[in-house]
Amino acid sequence: MPKTEAWNANLYDSKHAFVFAFGQELVDLLQPQSEERVLDIGCGTGHLTAKIAESGASVIGIDSSPTMIAKAQVTYPALTFEVADARHFAFTQPFNAVFSNAALHWIQDAETVVIQIVKSLKPGGRLVVEFGGKDNVGAIVSSLQKALQQVGHTSQTAWYYPSIGEYASLLEKHGFRVTQAWHFDRPTKLEDGELGLRNWLAMFASSSLDQLSPEEYEAVLNQIETQLRPTLYREGDWYADYKRIRIVASKA
């Protein structure tokens, strides 16, 4: 889920298409039915919302970024999208299912999100989510921290990457029954060959990089590339060390 307006919906679609390309499996796990109401939290540019809608389900996509929602609405004019924060949304009709792909790691206050989700579901309603799990992009994050320190700055990124135990406990605390959980590696090829890691950092770590002068920016990116090349660069492409947590749960 985009945190800032610096997010560029076109760049997101063209260079980071893997974010929603991987999501089809999660839609399959959701198994949306034609008579259902489904909420897609952190829908970005709406591609998975549209996939869910293909089932005939009535789906609403929300995202905190107005630019993402504007692009989603232009791309899929027949679907319903709203700018809304996952910590504060409210709908009058409850949902049969809540879905979210690659969004919940943007929100540190996971408990508030879970409380909102449980309130928005019908009894028996299901939750199907996937996002960054424990140690997600661990090599990139530690290299970023180290490179920033060397030019006298600290990392401003604040992602939420829980383990299965941590997230399942949170869901259980709020009345969910967790029926399936995975934590798995998904090394992810970044678009644009040699530029892949730079593009990824520019898009997703802007809160840390925006504080740098142009010279510091170059020094930091060069250092990260040098440090990570032996492990994350293969045959002309960069691979991000993604680790996903995927959860299926139902409201008791």
Name the site residues for ligand BEZ (rule: CB under 6 A): 102, 105, 132, 136-137, 159, 204, 242
Q: Which of 140, 133, 206 is nearest to 164 (CA)?
A: 133
Nearer to ligand BEZ, 105 or 183 (CB): 105
Task: Find the distance separating the first CA and the last CA of the chain, reported in whole Å.
Answer: 27
| Least distance in angstroms from the C-beta of 114 to ligand BEZ | 19
> Which residue of the chain is nearest ligand BEZ when measured via CB?
132
Nearer to ligand BEZ, 59 or 205 (CB): 205
Q: Give the alpha-carbon dihedral of 182, 56, 48, 79, to 10 degrees.
A: -150
Nearer to ligand BEZ, 118 or 137 (CB): 137
Nearer to ligand BEZ, 167 or 242 (CB): 242
| Least distance in angstroms from the C-beta of 242 to ligand BEZ | 5
| Least distance in angstroms from the C-beta of 74 to ligand BEZ | 24
| Least distance in angstroms from the C-beta of 233 to ligand BEZ | 18
Question: Three-state SS for 89?
Answer: coil
User: How does DSSP assign 157-190, residue by residue?
Assistant: -------HHHHHHHHHHTTEEEEEEEEEEEEEEP
Nearer to ligand BEZ, 95 or 242 (CB): 242
| Least distance in angstroms from the C-beta of 12 to ligand BEZ | 10
Task: Please enumerate, as own/partner, the contacts of 108-113 that have beta carbons within 8 Å and a separation of 24 or more.
Answer: 108/158, 108/159, 108/160, 110/160, 110/162, 110/167, 110/170, 111/170, 111/174, 112/87, 113/41, 113/86, 113/87
Side chain identity at residue 83, one-letter code: V
